Amino acid sequence: MGTTTGPGDGTELRGRLVTLRPVRPEDAVALRELRASAKVARWWDPPEDPDWPCEEGGSSTRLTVLEDGALVGLAQWWAEEAPQYRHAGIDLFLDPRVHGRGLGTDTVRTLARHLFEHVGHHRVVIDPAAANAAAVRCYEKVGFRRVGVMRRYERNPGTDSWRDGMLMDLLPEDLTAAPDD
């Protein structure tokens, strides 16, 4: 990753395959369409706010993921700022047309590295559904470790039923290198 500052100050994060930059209003329609696509909506429930992803006062920092300048997804992070428990959490989705090519791994690695190196976090968490094998695999490739299964952690989107979540965490020393590093 070649950039030393990051979103929040309007600059970009560059990975090996992707670039992350702050979400712009003109990204909203495409991001909402991607979020509603079947392979994403299975894991991301519909947004509650009609202005998502550009609503006022959100607690997450949202970044548009680009490949060769084309919008391919969204990554976001939030922070627990209580000094005793300070850490960050991340989440993402990518266009199903680009799944399985390493872009998710590159996105997560790029964002995690930014959170460690430039935002000063010492621990990053992520909490995919336990059944989301592609996501768990992707995060393990970055170096995340499985902390444990959170039983009946979240609703299956659009239903009253619950599903298990997988809490995973990453420390700076766990972060795996990108192939070209």
Ligand X SMILES: CC(C)(COP(=O)(O)OP(=O)(O)OC[C@H]1O[C@@H](n2cnc3c(N)ncnc32)[C@H](O)[C@@H]1OP(=O)(O)O)[C@@H](O)C(=O)NCCC(=O)NCCS
Closest-CA residue to 32 (of 53, 13, 2): 53
Phi, psi dihedrals of residue 89, rounded to the nearest 5°: -130, 150
**Quick check: 32 binds ligand X (CB under 6 A)?**
no
Q: Which is nearer to ligand X, 52 or 83 (CB)?
A: 52
Per CB under 6 A, the list member of 117, 119, 123, 132 interacting with ligand X is 132
User: Which parts of the chain fold into alpha helices (H)?
Assistant: 28-36, 38-41, 103-117, 133-142
x/- site string to ligand X, residues 36 to 65, per CB under 6 A?
A: ---xx--xx---------------------
Per CB under 6 A, the list member of 20, 53, 93, 109 interacting with ligand X is 93
Per CB under 6 A, the list member of 24, 86, 97, 137 interacting with ligand X is 137
Residue 32 neighbours by CB under 8 Å, 6+ apart: 47, 52, 53
**Quick check: 90 binds ligand X (CB under 6 A)?**
no
**Quick check: 133 binds ligand X (CB under 6 A)?**
yes
Per CB under 6 A, the list member of 6, 105, 109, 144 interacting with ligand X is 105
Rounded Cα distance between 149 and 10, Å, is 36
Look-up of token digits 């590093």 = 181
Rounded Cα distance between 112 and 56, Å, is 25
Smallest distance, ligand X to C-beta of residue 159, A: 17
Cβ atoms of residues 14 and 26 within 8 Å: no
Per CB under 6 A, the list member of 134, 152, 158, 162 interacting with ligand X is 134
**Quick check: 74 binds ligand X (CB under 6 A)?**
no
**Residues in touch with ligand X (CB under 6 A):** 39-40, 43-44, 91-94, 99-105, 128, 132-135, 137-138
